[in-house]
């Protein structure tokens, strides 16, 4: 595997960085889902959407602040993108599933369609494009798994 040139003074993305990233996303999602469950009676509202926007800002901020470190690891942006997609969309589908099992499918049908279908579909299309780009990128064939 060819090494990526590391500029002086820059360190690559570490496991600790990834743990901070995942913990931050999970903490934001817990807060978002707690508001949906307890303050908004299981409904997606402007308030819960703004909280999800805070999670998105955390993700974008993490990418910006740790950009030099992320760039030192091959496919790090892709890995972080997949993690965010799975955590956010998975948590929304899990929450909707729990509501449905609790007999509140009417609430899911009334307010969750954008959060479930649109977010997963459009983000999924972006992730598919990112996956194809990662697969077609130079150096993919040199990565040992």
Q: How far is 49 from 41, CA to CA, in rounded Å?
A: 14
Structural domain boundaries in the chain: 15-139
CB contact at 8 A, 59 and 25 = yes
Chain CA centroid to CA 19, Å = 13
Q: Chain-centre distance of CA 111, in angstroms?
A: 21
**Whole-number Å distance between alpha carbons of 63 and 76:** 10
- For the chain, what percent of residues have pLDDT higher than 70? 88
pLDDT-derived band at 1 (thresholds 50, 70, 90) equals very low
In sequence order, what are the residues at sequence separation of 6 or more whose Cβ sits closer than 8 angstroms to the Cβ of residue 56? none
pLDDT in tens, 24-82: 999 999 999 999 999 999 999 999 999 999 999 999 999 999 999 999 988 899 999 99
Q: Is 92 helix (H, G, I), strand (E, B) or coil?
A: helix
Against a cut of 0.85, is the pTM above it? Answer: yes
Q: What is the mean pLDDT of the chain?
A: 91
């Amino acid at each position: 595997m060819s090494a990526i040139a590391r500029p002086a003074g820059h360190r690559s993305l570490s496991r600790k960085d990834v743990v901070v990233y995942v913990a931050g996303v999970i903490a934001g999602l817990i807060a978002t889902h707690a508001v949906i469950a307890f303050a908004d009676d299981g409904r997606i509202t402007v308030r819960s959407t703004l909280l999800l926007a805070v999670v998105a800002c955390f993700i974008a901020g993490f990418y910006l602040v740790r950009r030099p470190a992320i760039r030192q690891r091959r496919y790090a942006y892709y890995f972080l993108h997949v993690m965010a997609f799975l955590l956010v969309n998975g948590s929304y589908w899990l929450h909707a599933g729990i509501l449905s099992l609790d007999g509140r499918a009417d609430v899911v049908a009334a307010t969750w369609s954008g959060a479930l279908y649109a977010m997963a579909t459009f983000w999924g299309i972006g992730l598919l494009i990112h996956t194809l780009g990662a697969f077609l990128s130079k150096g993919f064939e040199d990565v040992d798994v």
